[in-house]
Amino acid sequence: MLKLLNLLKDGRFHSGQALGQSMGVSRSAVWKQLQHLEAELDLIIHKVRGRGYQLATPLSLLDSTAIAAYAESEAWPVQVHDIIDSTNAEALRCVAQGQAAPFVIIAERQKAGRGRRGRQWVSPFAENLYYSLVIRVEGGMRQLEGLSLVVGLAVMRTLQEFGVAEAGLKWPNDVLVGPRKISGILLELVGDPADVCHVVLGIGINVNMQNNNQVDQQWTSIRRETGELIDRNQLVARLNGNLQHVLARHHHEGFLGFQHEWEQAHVWQGRSVSLIAGNHTVDGVVLGVDGQGGLRMNVNGVEKSFSGGELGLRLRNDS
């Protein structure tokens, strides 16, 4: 099926005869494969008598060779999967099998993509970026302080380089354009955080998605913002480069080296918010972040810091 998809990915019409000749199969075999593509990958294929078959939207398919060709520095090994449960889950399996870090897992589609706090990450085929980078961390907890926030800076810069000028950060792990989410980050750790461990940096970016009624919050994508079909291989290469840069800085400077830069990019700086931890809510005004990446808030005239992977942040109605 993927051979057929590669023939159709340009979004132009292709006759059944031409497709069959290219694949060495009959026109009826082409028809059956087209039906499988629609059913299994939720793709829309136009069928017009006398013209042939056309994908409703052109596709930019992932290719590790193309990613390496776009790389501007030493390239990380990249594994490309067609369909997978989640890139983070596969990354953790690779760590358990002893694969040496760093390496990157990407996929065209996730069947069980997930975000923070167990939420589903909607993952349509070949439209967005589902990405996990595995790094080895030595030197204890200092190397983990503010790590997810630093990753957010790399994602934001990458989006800006692709024309999303208004991309900004929301504590702790989201990238927004105005009120609309364009990217989320999920970090998972295995090993001893006080000594040597591996961290999976999971990143989801809405790239070429234009319509999806499964997403239960306001969202946007690079294509929605720029009006252009994005080459996801180039996007991966640029993201890799930006991550290499910020991770090297973070290793030497810690999060303190990024604190002011991150606060400048925080779209909810100075806003009235509600911090949610399970059934507990704290209302206050965002002051910034501390040297470990925790959220600083003015709560009833007192500055307090909050950190933790299960915390959520919402704008208050009067903000």
Q: Residues marked as binding for biotin?
A: 86-88, 110, 114-116, 181
Q: What is the DSSP string of 191-223?
A: E-TTSEEEEEEEEEE--S----TT--S-B--HH
Length of the chain: 319
Nearest to 239 by CA among 169, 170, 183: 183
Our answer to whether residue 47 is catalytic in this structure is no
Considering 111, 142, 314, 316, which one is annotated as catalytic? 314
Our answer to whether residue 249 is catalytic in this structure is no
Angstrom distance (rounded) from CA 222 to CA 160: 10
Please count the CA atoms within 13 angstroms of the CA of 304 that sit on its side-chain side: 12
Rounded to 5°, angle at Cα 207 from 204 and 213: 85
Our answer to whether residue 116 is catalytic in this structure is yes
Long-range contacts of the stretch 248-251 (C-beta < 8 A, 24+): 249/150, 250/143, 250/146, 250/147, 250/150, 251/143
Considering 181, 223, 224, 238, which one is annotated as catalytic? 181
Q: Residues marked as binding?
A: 86-88, 110, 114-116, 181
Which residues are catalytic, by number? 116, 181, 314
